Structures are given as C-alpha cells and as structure tokens.
Amino acid sequence: MARKKIKEETNSSEQIAPIVDQPITETVEKNYMPYVMSVIISRAIPEIDGFKPSHRKILYTMFKMGLMTGPRTKSANIVGQTMHLNPHGDASIYDTMVRLTRGNQSLLHPFIDSKGSFGKQYSTSMAYAASRYTEAKLDPFCAEIFRGIDKNAVDMVPNYDNTTTEPVLLPTSFPNILVSPNMGIAVGVASKICSFNLAEVCDGTIQILKNPHTDVDEMLDIIKAPDFAGGGYVIYDREEFTSIYKTGHGNFTLRAKYRYDPKANCIDILEIPYSTSIEKIMAKLMELVKANKLKEVSDFRDEIDLSGFKLTLDLKKGTDPDALMAKLYRLTPLEDNFACNFNVLIDNVPKQLGVIDIIKEWIKFRMVCVRRELTFELGKKNDRLHLLLGLAKILLDIDKAVKIVRNTQNDRDVVPNLMQGFDVDEIQAEFIAEIKLRNFNREYILSKINEIESLKDEIEKLETLISSDAKLKNYIASQLKEIKNKYKKDRLTEIIYPHEIVQYEEEDTVENYNVKLVFTKEGYFKKVNFNSYKTSEEQKVKEGDEVIVAEDGDNLTDLLFFSDKAQCYKSKASAFDCVKSSVMGEYVPAKLSFDQGERAIFFCGVKEYFEDKYIVFIFENGKGVRVPLSAYETKGNRKKLTGAYSQNSPIAAVLYEDAPFDMLILDSSNKAILINSSLIPIKTTRNSQGVTVFSLKKGCKVVGAIKNFAGKSSGGKSLRKTKIPATGVSYGEYELSENQIKLI
C-alpha cells in the first residue's frame, strides 16, 4: 500500500529508473579496472629508466630549478615547485624525496646532495626533519640520468593542468633500473628489485651489447651478486642467483657484519641486512632475553652516532663471539632473506624479467634515446651548415653585400634584396643581415667558412652513427665505460660462500651436565639430576608401572623413542625439564605428539650414531634383525621417522646392542632359547623383516626377551643355542622375579 501511495504522489512526468542487471565482470571492468591500471602504471611499478613517476617528477623539477649547479635550496621550496607536476600533497612528495638523498643512505648512488637530518634507511624510528629545516640540490651523478633530455631524447607530455610539460621517462645513460633498489605494491602486481654494483652493471651491459647471446653463467661472472648501500654480507648461492637472473624471481640471504672487541668483551654490529631495521633486531633480542634464550649477553644497546651504524652487545665472560653470532643469525633478523620480484613496466605493461632481459630492454630504450639525441644534434648541425653555406656566397663579393644593405631604403627590404642578390633563401639572408658591420670583413667570414668542412665531417659521422645499430651500440658502450670510470665504487655488500659459514647448532649454546635418563614400561620419561638420583634410589612411578631403562647421559643426548606403530620419535634431553626422583616424569606420547592410540615401547639415548652399534628387533613370528644405529641419524631437526622397523609381524622386543650380549627369547608355550645377539643378521634397511631366529610351533608366538640373561632352567636340556633358527626348550617353573620379560 505504501509503494502504491508513493507512486500516486509522484509527478507523472517523472519516472523511476529501472533496475538493470549488470554482470560483475562488466562492473569490475568499468569501475575498478581504471583504478587498477592507474595504480600499476602511474604509481607503484618502476619503468625501464628505474624510476616511478613520483621520483621522476621530483628530480625533473630540481633539474628545471637549476639545482644541478649552485648552492642548495630549502627542501620546502623543492616540494612546492614539484606540486606543479605532482598534485598529491607536500607530505608524500617530501617522503619520496627523502629516500633519494645522500643522508638517508638508501641508495648506492644517491641522486640528491642533502644537508640536514633525512633519517636513515636502517631505522624506522629515526625520523627525518621537516622540509623547512633541510636543504638539497642534485648530486653531480644526476648528469647521467638527464643526459640528452634537452636534445629531444625522450617524449615530453603536459602536466596535470596543461601549464607545463614533463618527461615520460628520463634518458638514463646507464641501467639505473638495476643500480637503484626499488619496491612497489600495486593492485595484483608487486615489484621488488634489488640493487647491483654500478661498475658490474656497466660491464654486464657492455657484454650484452657486444654479444646479445650471453648466457646466465657468463653474466654471473660479471654481475656477481646484488650490492646494497647498507653493506653486510650476501650468501652466495649460485643456483638461486641463476634462477633470479633468468626469471626475475627468487630469494637470497643477507647477513650482518660484526666486529669483536676483546678488550671490552663486546660485539659491535656495524652493518645489517638492507631488508631489516635496528628496531626489528632489538625487539627480537629483547624477546630472546625475556625467554631466557640469550644467557650469553649481559646487555645490548643502540650506539648509532655521527660515525655511522653500531649495535653493541656486551658478552658474559667465557662466551664464544663467533658461536653467539651463529646463534643470532639463526634466531634474529641479523640474517634475513631478500625476496626478488623484478616486475618492470615495459610500454605500460608490467613484465617480470630476469637481469639479462632487463638489460636488453634498457638497451632498446637507450638506443631510441641516443638516436633521438643524435638526430637532434644532426638537425642543429645541418641548420648551422645551411647558414654557413649562405655566408660563403657573400665571400665572393663582400662589397656587393654592403652595397645592397646600404642602398636599401626600407629595413623590411634588406632580406629580400640579399636573397635576390646572392641567390640565398630567407633563413640564410636573415643570418647575413644580422652580422654586425664590424664583422663584414674577409677574416671573420673566412673563419666562419672554415667551419663548413668540419661540420660536413661531423654530419657524415652522425648520419653513419644514426643509421647503424652496431655503431650505436659501440657508442653506448663507450658512454658506459666513461660512467664506470667516473663513478665506480667498491662493493659494499661482501660475498661469502656457504662453506665459510659457521652453522648454528642448538646444543652449542645449551648448558650441558650429566643426568640419569629414566624410562618406564607405561611410557613415562624423566631426566633426573645425578645428585638427586644418588640420594634416592627409589624412582616414583605410576601404580602398576615400573622402570625398564635407567641409563647415564647428559643434557645434549639424543633421545630415540620407538612406538608400537613402527615409528621412531626423536628429541633432545634438553627438551625435558630436569626433575627429582620423586617426580613421576612426562608421558612421552603426549610430550612428543604421538599418533592417536600409539604408545612408547622402547627408549635409548644416543651421543653418536656409530655404525657398529645396533637396535635389535624380535618379532612375534620368531624373526629377528639387527639395524645399525646410524640408520636413525637424520639431517636437520626431523622429529619423526616412519618405518622405524618392519610391520610384517607385531613387535615382541626391542633391545640396544653396544656390544654382543646373550638374550633369552620366550614364546607363549613357555619355551625359550638362549642365543648370542651376534647370531642375528645385520640389515641396513630399517624396515627389513629379518630372518627366523626362533622356530615356533603352530599357534605359538614370541612374547618377549631378556637381555644379558643369567638364570637357569629347571629342565634337563640346555637353553643355549649356537645356530639359528633354533627350537625352543621347555623353561620349566623357573621364577622370573628378577628377570622379568621386558621391552628394553
């Protein structure tokens, strides 16, 4: 009723717009895609000159302000002038400008010579001063990014309000895209480009100019690895760098550089990875201190001053600085990964390119710039030659030229009369007419005419250069050699190789002491301090449970727990708390996250995985096998091994052999054999089912084994067997009170 009333009150001439179904794809295309493309093209992704639009606008504004020479000017003045090209606000302009300065230390080759506080790349809390307090000008290095810009090297387009023009790209005379690090996040596209050493990049580009078919291996020998303004070390993984150079995608590892001061017993960290900050490192150090995982350090502090970066760690007496740093590299951002994603805008299309492909794209771009620049110069020289050829004609009769000018009554007729008198065009006649009277002499005119031959030679060379790709590439290569010789710097980020690195092992920094390792039949484990164990012979266990293993070890011992599901769980003794004998201990399946319904049946502590030590498995079907202890050694920190032993038959007993021993094996019919463990064959495969040791009657099975059995049978036949398989002998009524069958 309400809707009907509204319609009646609505003017008949007005019509409610109908609701039209619109596919979501069409909505996205019309409403969202323009924004997406704007962010990708106009904001976040660098182009082949190595700049985003925001960088380009700032640098070009400073260039037009004449800041290539002369004194610095206030940053606020630069920001204000840049707003003629960038209307997004002064804060964002200044924030972008800061990163380009020498003071911020973000770039290997800064573009802005700065004075004042511009913050630091390695600190998030060290804020830069307001633009009214700082000063800046262009660094002389910028001459290389503007080379040829006043000679039509690149296209110029109107600014946002059509009051001036700006360059689409800067005609960088070196591959700045690889020399200046760059990062940007657009919509659906991101870019993260690391920096490389200028001299190496120039050499690599020259190599590509000479041989476009240069492969990645050759390039890796020239452009060895990334180089950052923050210094530090880069860990050289040739395989990973090969992938990065080919695809533009991959990761490499950076680590901090430090110095140990023995007098003060402290470590001074002087350079950190480019991808982290001192605040992140200190926050992680504090976290480790609170977790009691950094006992080697008594204090740490930020000692950054005018001399540069320094993070100092005071060490406790007896601490090995190299071992501590190996630990800190593992646990803190002092070692950090740099994820490469070389997305570059090529003709307004984002492309992921490897290093060689980026260089090739830059060469294409640079050849266009240089050709346009040379064409501009050629035009100027042709214009100059044209004027001088006209001047040469009056040399034949200077008096005639003077007479024509003197006898011409009206000023406007001078040029037409000269054109008629000497058969020159209007431009040439205008040039002749503008010559001062004092220069109407043979010496002046001859000096100008002598330029004609040199101009002709220069024009011929330019025409040859412009028309030949090979000569143009040689010309670009000569520019790169010049740039390298003028601006090259030694690598700041040193290359180290994996074999040079001290690996952090957790046990290196874990306190070590002797302990007693106790394991019960029900799967409880405890690490008992030696003193507590000596003073209390009785171990507290759960009702109905009993201790089946009590062996010596230390806090660094490896613990192997075998389950009834043929799995082996590994741990360190240091992972368990040291307790008194009066404590029941921890339930191993819960502590080590055993599978549902799985229980622990055997334990042994291992210091070294010797090949002549064995785990002996006896199965219910009468088979047995010895597996070398070394078969359970793993690389890394694997916590679980499947297929620890054969599952063809249920397990009856597991024993540890460090030397051959006698064992009593019993079956369900109360028969037994006594054999030496050396009779059981060795198999290197963990899940080997072994060989028959005990010949069982139908319906019988092995129920257990006793290690180092010393009892006697009440039967007349001997239990001792010297060959396998062996038939069991009746065990009689012997009481097994002290030699209870155990899985040990």
Query: What's the count of helices (H) and strands (E) in the chain, helices before strands?
Result: 21, 36
Question: What is the rounded end-to-end Cα distance, in angstroms, of the chain?
Answer: 87
Whether 234 contacts 494, CB under 8 Å:
yes
Q: What's CA 173's distance to the chain center, in Å? A: 28
Three-state SS for 666? Answer: strand
Residue at token pair 């599978």: 595
**Cα–Cα distances in angstroms (integers) from residue 322 to residues 297, 314, 552, in the given order:** 13, 14, 31
**Side chain identity at residue 390, one-letter code:** G
Of 57, 351, 347, 38, the closest CA to residue 193 belongs to 351
Helix/strand/coil for 343: strand
- The Cα 245–Cα 208 span in angstroms is 14
Q: Is 210 exposed, middle or buried (0-12, 13-18, 19+ CB in 10 A)?
A: exposed
| Vertex 119 angle, CA 116 and 124, to 5° | 165
Rounded to whole angstroms, how far apart are CA atoms 606 and 391?
A: 101
DSSP state of 628: E
Contact criterion met (CB below 8 Å) for 425 and 431 = no
Q: What three-state secondary structure class fits 128?
A: coil
Strand residue runs (E) in 151-225: 156-158, 165-167, 182-185, 190-193
Does 133 participate in catalysis according to the annotation? Answer: yes
Q: How far apart, in whole angstroms, are the C-alpha atoms of residue 252 and residue 234?
A: 8
Count other C-beta atoms under 10 Å from residue 657's C-beta. Answer: 18
Residue tagged 């994996």 (tokens): 498
Instruction: For 294, list phi and psi in degrees, rounded to 5.
Output: -135, 60
* Distance from the Cα of residue 737 to its chain's centroid: 64
Q: 233-235 and 547-554 as β-strands: parallel, antiparallel, unpaired?
A: unpaired
Tokens matching residue 204: 């690599």
Amino acid letter at 635? Answer: K
Structure tokens of 486? 């003028």
**Active-site residue, selected from the candidate residues 32, 133, 160, 497:** 133
Catalytic residue positions, numbered: 133
